[in-house]
Amino acid sequence: MSLEEKFNQLAEELKKSMVNPDLDIELCFPNEVDQGCEVKGYPYIKVKYVVEGHDVYEKEIDIDPMYWEKDIKDLAGLVTFQIQQFMEEIDSVEYGGE
């Protein structure tokens, strides 16, 4: 399996596990300039989280080369954890003062 195939499987796994209508997950490859992806030397996951339909927060989660050999489930677990932390940080900022 090529790295591109592996990361596409990872993106599908993330979309299945992160079922949240306010969350948009996009996989960006180093050679892709379209879809708003930046050209980087490694693939990354671009996460967009929309709070109450108007506040948009974005985060890029790099897929470090040291993780490329990991199983899809392990990779998905690592990325899912980072996405959940990102969402919790935003929720605490958005709703912490109420």
- What's residue 97's pLDDT? 54
Q: Are 10 and 76 in contact (CB under 8 A)?
A: yes
> Model's pTM, two decimal places?
0.81
pLDDT tens digit at each of 98 positions of the chain: 788 888 889 888 888 887 788 888 888 877 655 667 777 878 888 899 888 878 899 999 998 888 888 899 999 999 999 999 999 998 888 777 55
CA 34, chain centre distance (Å): 17
> Judging by beta carbons within 10 Å of its beta carbon (0-12, 13-18, 19+), is residue 96 exposed, middle or buried?
exposed
**Per-residue model confidence (pLDDT) at position 34:** 60
| CA atoms of 42 and 27, how far apart (whole Å) | 11
pLDDT score for 32: 59
C-alpha angle 73-15-71 in degrees, rounded to nearest 5: 15
